[in-house]
Structure formats: C-alpha cells, structure tokens
Amino acid sequence: MSSDNQTPVNNAAFNAATDLEIRIRRKLERQHFMHLIGADLTVITPGRVEAELALQQQHQQQRGFAHGGLVATMADLVAGFAGVTLLPDDVGLVTADLRVSYLHPGVGQRLRAIGWVLKAGRRLHFCEAEVWCDELLIAKASATMAVLEPLN
Amino acid sequence: MSSDNQTPVNNAAFNAATDLEIRIRRKLERQHFMHLIGADLTVITPGRVEAELALQQQHQQQRGFAHGGLVATMADLVAGFAGVTLLPDDVGLVTADLRVSYLHPGVGQRLRAIGWVLKAGRRLHFCEAEVWCDELLIAKASATMAVLEPLN
Amino acid sequence: MSSDNQTPVNNAAFNAATDLEIRIRRKLERQHFMHLIGADLTVITPGRVEAELALQQQHQQQRGFAHGGLVATMADLVAGFAGVTLLPDDVGLVTADLRVSYLHPGVGQRLRAIGWVLKAGRRLHFCEAEVWCDELLIAKASATMAVLEPLN
Amino acid sequence: MSSDNQTPVNNAAFNAATDLEIRIRRKLERQHFMHLIGADLTVITPGRVEAELALQQQHQQQRGFAHGGLVATMADLVAGFAGVTLLPDDVGLVTADLRVSYLHPGVGQRLRAIGWVLKAGRRLHFCEAEVWCDELLIAKASATMAVLEPLN
C-alpha cells in the first residue's frame, strides 16, 4: 500500500481498508482475553485475518508445548474476525462450533494464525483457520459462526 | 471421603485417590497456561476431572461474554486430564482433535468444566466435557486424545 | 402405553404422541436414502428418536466393518429427527455440522442409533447421537442443526 | 496419461500409478457400501483421491436434497482412501473422527468428492475432503484416521 501511484480508485480502496481496520481495532480494545494471552491481529482484510503471538512459558502445558487451548483461542480469534469483516458493524457473530485438529506440538518462538471465510451466509458463516508455529503448520481448524441480528 | 468407617479396603482406595491426585498435581505445576487463565482442578478421580475458574474481565471477548478460546481451554483441560488419570505416570496424552459446541454465551461469576473418558483405548482416548457458567450448561465438547509411548 | 388405566390426561398424551409419530412418518416416506440403506425409526418421542438397521454385507467397507458413512448416516438421521420433533410441522431443519467419533469397529447383527436434543434454540438445535452395534457403543456424534423458516 | 511421449522415467511413474490404482481397486471390490450408494473412485493418486456419484431419488432426504449421510459417506470415502494411498498394502486405516460442514443443500446431477492428506503421521493421518454438487462446493470435511498395524 505505497502511496506513489494512488489513483482515486486506489484511494477509495485504501480508505475502505482503513475503515475496516479502524472498525475492527475498536472491537479489539474490548477483546480482553486476546490481550491476556498476548496476541494481536496483524492482518485485517475482508474475509481474511491474521494474528500473532510470541510464545512464552506462560503459554505452555506440562510438556512444554503450546497449550491446546491457546491454539484453539488463536484459531477462534482469526476465524471469528474473518467473519466479522464481512458483516455490518452492528451485526454480531458468535462461535456455534469450533473444531481444531492438532497436527504437531507447538514448540518454537512464534504462533501465527490465519483465518478465512469458506462461506458467508445470511445466518451462518463457515470459517477455517490454520495455526503455524514458526515455519510449521501445527493446527487446522473449522468454525461455524452464527450471525446475530443487530440489537435495537 | 469421611474417615469414620475406613476399613482397610477403604483406606487403600483413599490412598490410591491421594496418589493419583499427587501425581496429577505434580503435572499441574508446569501447566503454565492454566495458571495464566486462573483455572484450577477441583476434582481428580479416575476417568473424571473437574476444573473451576472465577470469571473476570480478562476472560471476555468484545461483547462481554467468556471468550470461546477460554471455554475451549477449560474443556481441553478437563478432557485431557480425565484421560491422563487412566494412564501410567510416564505415558503422555496429547489432544489430536477438539470440538466445542457453544450452547449459550458465558455470562456470570464462575466457569466449571467437567471432563470424562468415553472410551480409553490403547492408542486413542475419546473424552467428553461440559462447561457450565453458574447454573447453565454453556458448552459441550468432545476430544480425541493420542496416547504417547513413554520416553526412554 | 398399555390401555388399562388411561385417564383423559393420559389419552391426550397418547394422542399427542400419535400425532407426532404420524407427522414424522409422513416425512419418512420421502426419506429415500433411509430406505436405501434399510433403516427405520423405531422410537419417536419429543426430543428423542431411535432408528435401527439389520447389518448386511451391503453395509460393509473393505475390512468387513460397518462403513463409517453408514454410521454417520444413522447418527445424522436420529439427531436430525430428534430436532424435528420439537418444531412445528412447516418448519424445516438441516444439518449444518456433523461430527462422529468412531469408538469401535461395527461388527455384528444390528445397528441401533439414539438421537436427542441437547439444546433447542430459535435458530440452531444442538443434538447428539449414539450408535450401538449389538451391545457395544461404537460411535458418538454431535450435530448442529439450522432451523429453516417456513416456506411461504 | 497419454502414451505418446513416454520416456523410461515416465513409464516408471506410469507403472507406479498403475500399481497403486490396482492395489486400491482390489480393496474397492469389498467396499460394498460404496457400491450400494452407486459411487466410484475416479482419481487415485498418492495422497489425493476423487469419487463421483450420479444423484438419484434414492439419495434424497425428505426435502429432496442429497442426504447428509450420503455426503458424509462420500467425504469419508475419499479422505480415507487418500490416506490409504500413502500406506503399505498390509497396513490398515480406520476413521477415528469425521466432521462435515454442510455449506449448501445438494441439489443437482452429480456429486464429486475430493480427498487429500493434510498430514500423514506414523499413527494418525489428518485428511480433508470437499464435496461438490455440479459446480457448487456443498460440504467441507476433515477426518482423523488411525493407522492400524499389519495383522500378523
């Protein structure tokens, strides 16, 4: 997103991306559990979101691996926000079902989670997520999200 | 487990329970993520484990509900340790698959998770878990756990 | 449901059960896949349904076990119809997510599936099912069902 | 796989493919449930398998959609055989867990399922599958498969 050759169209796309990011970052302020575990969203685009976290001792289970609950949290976070990016600001989205398959133990420096929307429906969003530990895919997840009508 | 009428048999059962609890509690010392979220195991019996956590702002997602990742962590914790109680101390157990169905938003004072073993196999344990928020069942989970051979 | 001591109240309950069963059996006429595999519903009560099937060679995979797809079909059938029993006749229910854990190979004479509703919601029903082969629990399933608005 | 330009190397690859296909097709003879539903494998390559089926009335549930159990069967079939292609002939593979997300109702002429291996392990294979109805992706599945030691 360099600014050299921005035509009006590019500016509009740039502003839309910025608006989306502002809108999502406002919600993140109240994502207390995300702050507790030390994660943050690093990519916010329509239908695709990424998050990262620096692994520390506090994230481990008794064998020194990243806790399965931590990995599930990262997957839920990016799958859910990927879905949120496709909805108006006043429409909520909650996880109905989350499944995580653990392919490898999480041992390393950094977790990176990538979430995307497989199908956005009027009432259900089907999302998927990958969780990587350094250069290794350690988990694959799928989530069924329920669209909540606006509060009024 | 009152002590009034302990026959030798009862004493043996009591001691076995105590040994199991000591063995599990030793593993919990290194369950750093459990400590980070503020949970603790409250019941440790063969094939059945419970955990509790006092809900605080740090556990919330942006709508004020208990985060889906927190609920998944509680489910994984009790399902996994329920499985561990049925294995010798040097045999490990890791989550291969975790699925959580979110029945209700978690809003209240206290989370309580109950995990049990549906089928203990030589190589796979199938476990289930419920997560309650105060008096409401808010999530049901199933986990497939892989038995790890002892390190030697 | 013996007829000896039917008070008017019991008669009403009996008729309600009968009406429910008539209503469900009418839908079953068009359950062509259920007929193809040779299954039938044997118990139809509000929120709980059972189905049975006599195992034959046509149900096997290459090792002689009941095919995983057959077991999933039995689970989907009873979980879905358990949900249908709690809805008005013109409201539909479709499976959004189905998960089956296979505890044991299906080898024997008869499959019996039992489905029930864990939580009936306005938009989602969370259901569970067990599949038994003779006297052995061979599979446990959970299904998330989406309630469809009436066609009008 | 036209035969015009087969170098010796290509011939070896061709023969390996043929051997794999012969080996799998021998197993399919005893896949009675696959024959009952009228499906067949159309692509058999290492780690990736496809199956097809012409939709008929016998495959429908009461609303005229392809039955969820049928879709699950197609997913299980290709996910499982994708895993089998990566194992020696005398090593078995059984489904431990199957999850299917139903994105759209199956209404059309033809089901096509594509299965692949996400991670092949010594004891567990993690596989995925898509099921298409004509040109629409109607289901996404993931399966955890347990590797069985050879009978001896």
- The CA distance from D46 to B84, in Å, is 36
* Residues near D49 by beta carbon (within 8 Å), at least 6 away in sequence: D24, D41, D43, D78, D81, D82, D85, D114, D115, D116
Q: Could you tell me if C28 lies within 8 Å of chain D, comparing CB atoms?
A: yes
Average pLDDT over residues A54-76: 95
Query: Using 50, 70 and 90 to split pLDDT, how confident is the model at C10?
Result: low
pLDDT at A61 over 60: yes
What pairs with residue A148 in β-bridges?
A92
- Chain A residue numbers with beta carbons less than 8 Å from the beta carbon of C144 are 96-97, 144
The conformation of residue C149, written as its DSSP 8-state character, comes to: P
Burial class (CB in 10 A: 0-12, 13-18, 19+), A3: exposed
pLDDT at A9: 56
Q: Could you tell me if B103 lies within 8 Å of chain C, comparing CB atoms?
A: yes
Which partners does chain B have (≥3 C-beta pairs < 8 Å)? A, C, D
- The CA distance from B136 to B90, in Å, is 37
- Annotation: CATH topology of B8-148: Thiol Ester Dehydrase; Chain A (3.10.129)
Helix (H, G, I), strand (E, B) or coil at B136: strand
Contact yes or no for C74 and D74 at CB 8 A: no
The ipTM (two decimal places) reads 0.89
Which partners does chain A have (≥3 C-beta pairs < 8 Å)? B, C, D
Q: Could you tell me if B140 lies within 8 Å of chain C, comparing CB atoms?
A: yes
- The CA distance from D4 to A137, in Å, is 40
- The CA distance from A40 to A78, in Å, is 10
Q: How far is A16 from chain B, CA to nearest CA, in Å? A: 22
Q: What's the mean pLDDT when you consider all of chain B?
A: 91
Q: Could you tell me if D123 lies within 8 Å of chain B, comparing CB atoms?
A: yes
User: What type of residue sits at position D75?
Assistant: A
Write out the two tokens for A75.
Answer: 């997957």
pLDDT at B18: 85
Q: Do B129 and B72 contact (CB within 8 A), yes or no? A: no
What digits encode the pLDDT tens for the residues D67-77? 999 999 999 99
pLDDT at B13: 67
Query: Using 50, 70 and 90 to split pLDDT, how confident is the model at C83?
Result: very high
Contact yes or no for C101 and B126 at CB 8 A: yes
Helix (H, G, I), strand (E, B) or coil at A123: coil
- Interface B-C, measured as beta-carbon pairs within 8 A, has a size of 30
Q: Of C95, C119, C125, C138, which to mutate for an interface test with B (greatest number of B Cβ within 10 Å)?
A: C119
What digits encode the pLDDT tens for the residues A67-95? 999 999 999 999 999 999 999 999 999 99
Query: Using 50, 70 and 90 to split pLDDT, how confident is the model at A2?
Result: very low
C-alpha distances out from residue A74 to A35, A80, B68, B71, Å: 12, 10, 10, 13
Q: C151 to chain D: nearest residue by CA?
A: D63
pLDDT at D99 over 50: yes
Q: Do C55 and C111 contact (CB within 8 A), yes or no? A: yes
- Chain C residue numbers with beta carbons less than 8 Å from the beta carbon of A97 are 96-97, 144
Q: Could you tell me if A97 lies within 8 Å of chain C, comparing CB atoms?
A: yes
Q: A126 to chain C: nearest residue by CA?
A: C96
pLDDT at B89 over 60: yes
- Chain C residue numbers with beta carbons less than 8 Å from the beta carbon of B128 are 140
**D17-26, D34-43, D96-105, D113-122: segment of lowest average pLDDT:** D17-26
Q: Which helix (H) or strand (E) holds C25?
A: helix C8-28
Q: What's the mean pLDDT when you consider all of chain D?
A: 91
Among candidates B19, B25, B67, B26, which has minimal Cα distance to B42?
Answer: B25
